[in-house]
Amino acid sequence: MRAACDCLKLGILYAQNGMWEGKQVLPADWVEAVQQPHVKDTYGYQWWIGPETFYADGLFDQLSFVFPKHKAVLAITAGIPQRTGFNKLVFRHFPAMFAGTVTKNDADAEKLKARTAALQLLPPLVPASSPVAVQISGKTWQMPENADAIKSVGLSFAGKTCTFTLEDGRGTHKIEVGLDAPREGTTTMTGNKLHHEYQPEMMRVVASGTWRDLRTFVMTWTFVESAFRDTVTCTFEGPQLRFARSVNVNSSALDMPTLIGKLA
């Protein structure tokens, strides 16, 4: 939420020609300059140029659109895969709302109302259990040498929470995972190559987990101050643990190589 507010403030500052709370924070001629093409035909000074708008576009679509003609700003923080053409949808539909070219259709309006009422970031968590949870709780699996320097992982089940622990070259990291509902907390868990190589010292995370079947435990880690949402799958096969991790968006691979750990 804070990131979205910051994107909105940035856009408002430029929409007001550099004025903020009655003070000229940026020179007005600078605001004018960024709206002119300086690289090819679509890029000003750190701002992209589109139809009726200029906009800041961060990786994975952290966006601030300024529409000077309409004195409007649209701020978006999201985890949208690259090359989806999302910006073109904004160009087409957002200015049309101000131009009065959107035709009201009651049937479509009701469909939109029903759809938005049901929107949520993730599917509802379906609690599930497995007798394997008791057998593996508190145990540790040693990992083979790997590019992410993961040394070991462990899971501990207690009541409606699973504590997931991972040790790598940066230290030991924990995530509290809700089994009945998502749990919000902080973690030092590394994202490394799956997170565009971002590795903050601490991140907020909302985590949940459920048993897909008797031997497969699946977790969702949503790093709420970033664009990243990880899916972590632990499959227990006798003394071995098959550990797989993927991410919703990235600048390179969306999956890390699956690791097979041995019970310590």
* Among 87, 102, 93, 100, CA closest to 49: 87
Q: For residue 106, what pLDDT is reported?
A: 75
> Any idea which of 20-24, 123-127, 134-138, 227-231 has the lowest mean pLDDT?
123-127
Q: Are 9 and 73 in contact (CB under 8 A)?
A: no
pLDDT at 1 over 60: no
* Ranges for all domains in the chain classified under CATH 3.40.710.10: 2-103
Average pLDDT on 18-46 reads 93
pLDDT at 81 over 90: no
Domain 2-103 carries which CATH code? 3.40.710.10
Beta pairing class for 216-222 and 240-247: unpaired
Average pLDDT on 33-51 reads 90
Place of tokens 């499959």: 235
Q: For residue 97, what pLDDT is reported?
A: 82
Q: For residue 35, what pLDDT is reported?
A: 94
Write out pLDDT tens, residues 191-210: 889 999 989 999 999 999 99
pLDDT at 101 over 70: no
Write out pLDDT tens, residues 129-152: 999 999 999 999 999 999 999 999
- pTM of this structure: 0.81
- Percentage of the chain beyond pLDDT 90 is 70
Q: For residue 234, what pLDDT is reported?
A: 98
Please, what is the average pLDDT of the chain?
Answer: 91
Which runs of E-coded beta strand occur in the chain? 19-20, 23-24, 48-50, 53-58, 62-67, 72-77, 139-142, 150-158, 161-168, 171-178, 183-187, 203-213, 216-222, 229-237, 240-247, 259-263
CATH number for 132-263: choose from 2.40.128.20, 2.60.40.10, 3.40.50.1360, 3.30.413.10. 2.40.128.20
Q: Which residues contact 153 (CB under 8 A, 6 or more apart)?
A: 140, 141, 143, 164, 165, 166, 167, 234, 241, 243, 261
pLDDT at 68 over 70: yes
* Ranges for all domains in the chain classified under CATH 2.40.128.20: 132-263
